[in-house]
């Protein structure tokens, strides 16, 4: 039995060494031994030893190219939550970095947090991810393996809840980070649990038409290969099967179409160009020279990358045999990013330093994560989670400043969202916008690729956020700043109103509030009542939290403090 942990960890070590030949694998062995011991009395729903789960999660991350620290944290990710092993013990044994990652993915105790546990756990994970994105990647790998083994769970309602939560929260997170390899698998596994009949129908149809599709696809690959070679391009032509949920989504969007699965429904052609980015456009020309491009179906994500690092040229063509095909054109580097997204940058950084790995969370193309952080101020757990779901599923667009800076935003965003994404002060002073050099209202929905300029006013009486802005804004960042501004304005108005009430009551006693303020009497009473400043006290008067007459009595009865404002 003493040799079992070492043997079980070998596939993990082998996978890790393919990406990091010089890695310290002893710490992986130690991590597995600690996990195996901590989970020694626990079983999965399948009856397998529980440690097979963290080992599978770590192996998945190793195959994706994640660093040693992440793999150790993956091995230990359930120990603090499910065993007697404490976070301090993890920190003492494996260091602060591993402990932070483990803590980031540790669920909050449901017995203490009740119905708020899910939302507060997600809030905690997002906060941790803002400092280190590897927290989210461990969570995504954890969910992939849980979905792979979800059929072992005896309760259908639990299977459905886990699958639905995956679609609503974790699939969009994988998409935002560009980790399409995990997104596709999660979508298919959740699809199999949520719509088993539709899943089986598509799977059976794919199998039934597989031979015919392969026979039609072969000559098409030969045609495009010859066209690229004739254009003097060095390129590799690959075919990629679309995942089942993607096919289902297209069918649902076009229910009146014939539901027979054809070549283009199930397969995309991917061209990997071995050359500079400009050669991708030459390859696009070669494709359009042999097949007819469909109008408005060409997308250039090389000149204007997606918010999640994705770059590629997309075109949809009709072949001579009237097959409709989607063709993707990219370089090998772009292809790696298209599959693994942020993991590529973390992998590259890990070859140099741990600090650079953590810095990956601060990339400018991760503004969407900072938008999620803006929702942390939301006090209501249920509404917080609903807001996060809405922001994640909203899709994305890319707009530009006048100087060409890229500003990624959720779909249906307005110039208000744009202004706050650029600078909160710009948002607070916005009175209008120029979109593609044309005047536009602040509530106009923006489209991909537009150039936006915000018109502002320095006047304190003109413009400014309003309740309507709060209803229009799409991003958490904008909504939180607008709400904060509105709250401050309400507080200012309340303070003025409360002070006026107090002035009137004191005047009846022939007492001047300004004099009490100048001699420190008002501030002394304010502090005694537990208010941070006079504005807060006066706002409490307006809100009737403090009774005006009683406050006036205290002010009159309090002796003056030391002279202020230079008085003698």
User: Which are the catalytic amino acids?
Assistant: 81-82
CA distances from 38 to 2, 26, 60 (A): 15, 18, 21
User: What is d(CA 97, CA 385) in angstroms, rounded to the nearest whole number?
Assistant: 28
Rg of the chain over Cα atoms, rounded to whole angstroms, equals 30
Which residues are CB-contacts of 309 (< 8 A; sequence separation ≥ 6)? Answer: 178, 337, 341, 342, 344, 345, 365
Q: What DSSP character marks residue 168?
A: I
Of 380, 481, 374, 373, nearest to 128 by C-alpha is 373
Residues 273-297 as b/e (b if ≥16 CB within 10 A, e otherwise) read: beeeeebbebbbebbeebbeeeeee
Beta bridge partner(s), residue 430 = 456
- Alpha-carbon distance 496 to 501, whole Å? 9
Question: Of 489, 450, 448, 496, nearest to 470 (Cα)?
Answer: 489
Cα 210 from Cα 207, distance rounded (Å): 5
List the structure tokens of 227: 């066209």
Helix (H) or strand (E) holding 313: strand 313-318
Contacts of residue 62, Cβ cutoff 8 Å, sequence gap at least 6 = 12, 15, 16, 19, 71
The DSSP code sequence of 355-370 is HHHHHGGG-GGGHHHH
**CA quadruple 473, 477, 483, 485: dihedral positive or negative?**
negative
**Phi and psi dihedrals of 172, rounded to 5?**
-60, -35
Is the distance from CB of 452 to CB of 400 less than 8 angstroms?
Answer: yes
Secondary structure of residue 73 in the 3-state scheme: helix
User: How many C-beta atoms lie closer than 10 Å to residue 493's C-beta?
Assistant: 12
């Amino acid at each position: 039995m003493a040799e079992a942990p070492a043997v079980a960890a070998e596939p993990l070590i082998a996978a890790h060494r393919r990406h990091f030949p010089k890695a310290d694998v002893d710490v992986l062995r130690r991590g597995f031994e600690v996990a195996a011991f901590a989970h020694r009395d626990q079983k999965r729903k399948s009856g397998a030893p529980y440690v097979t789960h963290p080992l599978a999660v770590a192996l998945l991350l190793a195959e994706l190219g994640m660093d040693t620290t992440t793999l150790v944290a993956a091995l230990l990710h359930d120990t603090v939550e499910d065993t007697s092993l404490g976070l301090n013990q993890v920190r003492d044994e494996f260091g602060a970095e591993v402990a932070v990652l483990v803590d980031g993915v540790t669920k909050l105790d449901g017995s203490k947090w009740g119905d708020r546990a899910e939302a507060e756990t997600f809030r905690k994970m997002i906060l941790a991810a803002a400092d280190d994105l590897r927290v989210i990647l461990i969570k995504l790998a954890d969910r992939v393996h849980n979905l792979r083994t979800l059929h072992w769970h005896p309760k259908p309602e639990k299977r459905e809840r886990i699958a639905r939560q995956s679609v609503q929260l974790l699939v969009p997170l994988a998409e935002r980070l560009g980790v399409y390899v995990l997104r596709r698998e999660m979508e298919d596994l959740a699809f199999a649990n949520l719509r088993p009949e539709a899943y089986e129908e598509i799977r059976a149809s794919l199998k039934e038409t597989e031979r015919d599709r392969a026979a039609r696809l072969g000559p098409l690959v030969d045609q495009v290969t010859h066209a690229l070679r004739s254009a003097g391009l060095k390129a590799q032509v690959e075919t990629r099967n679309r995942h089942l949920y993607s096919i289902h989504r297209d069918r649902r969007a076009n229910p009146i179409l014939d539901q027979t699965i054809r070549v283009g429904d199930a397969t995309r052609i991917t061209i990997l160009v071995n050359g500079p980015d400009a050669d991708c456009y030459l390859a696009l020309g070669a494709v359009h020279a042999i097949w007819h491009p469909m109008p408005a179906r060409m997308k250039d994500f090389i000149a204007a990358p997606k918010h999640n690092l994705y770059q590629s040229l997309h075109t949809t063509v009709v072949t001579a045999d009237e097959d409709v095909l989607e063709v993707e054109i990219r370089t090998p580097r772009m292809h790696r990013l298209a599959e693994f997204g942020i993991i590529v940058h973390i992998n590259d950084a890990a070859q140099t330093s741990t600090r650079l790995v953590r810095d990956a969370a601060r990339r400018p193309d991760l503004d969407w994560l900072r938008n999620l952080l803006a929702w942390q101020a939301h006090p209501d757990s249920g509404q917080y989670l609903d807001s996060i779901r809405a922001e994640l599923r909203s899709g994305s667009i890319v707009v530009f400043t006048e100087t060409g800076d890229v500003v990624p935003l959720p779909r249906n965003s307005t110039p208000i969202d744009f202004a706050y994404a650029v600078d909160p002060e710009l948002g607070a002073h916005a009175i209008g916008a120029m979109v593609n050099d044309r005047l536009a209202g602040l509530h106009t929905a923006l489209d991909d690729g537009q150039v936006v300029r915000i018109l502002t006013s320095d006047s304190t009486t003109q413009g400014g956020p309003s309740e309507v802005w709060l209803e229009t804004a799409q991003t958490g960042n904008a909504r939180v700043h607008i709400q904060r501004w509105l709250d401050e304005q309400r507080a200012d108005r309340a303070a003025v109103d409360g002070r006026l009430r107090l002035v009137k009551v004191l005047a009846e006693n022939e007492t001047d509030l300004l004099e009490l303020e100048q001699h420190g009497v008002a501030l002394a009473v304010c502090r005694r009542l537990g208010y941070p400043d006079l504005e807060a006290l006066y706002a409490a008067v307006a809100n009737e939290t403090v009774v005006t007459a009683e406050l006036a009595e205290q002010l009159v009865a309090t002796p003056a403090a030391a002279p202020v404002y230079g008085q003698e």
